[in-house]
Amino acid sequence: MTEEKTERKTVMTYVPAYQKERWKTHAERLGMSQSEFVRTMVQAGRRDFEIPDRTHADEAASDDGSGGGNEFEGRVLDALSAAEHRSWDELLDALTDDIEDRLDETLQDLQAANRVQYSGRHGGYALAPGAFEGDDGR
């Protein structure tokens, strides 16, 4: 390997205390350092490891006619390979662990872009006025 590939650089980020604690707990459960955990999760996210909706999962499973090979199936197999036995709840946790973090981050981004507003008075989130004006069609 070249020095460029092995040289390490520091990356700093700030997250809410509850999120850091959640990451720390998850890293410990996996026997990883916090740095290794964050690095692994970022790389997993870059490979687009998301739970596909039912339509896409069914399409992927039927692509080759084998009924297997879709991304979600691979995630299930990976989760099962991490332990001899996993309960339903453990599998569910392994496959959905980051959903709360992803929702929180997405809502923060949408609020920063003035597309979503939080109302304490109404106890929830709502589309901001004009949220879709000038949007690129998403």
| pLDDT by position in tens, the chain (length 138) | 556 667 878 888 888 888 889 888 888 888 888 888 888 777 776 655 454 444 444 444 444 444 445 777 888 888 888 888 888 888 888 887 777 778 888 888 889 988 899 888 888 889 888 776 655 544
The answer to whether residues 100 and 84 touch, using CB atoms and an 8 Å cutoff, is: no
pTM above 0.85? no
Q: For the chain, which residues make up each domain, given as ranges? A: 9-98, 99-138
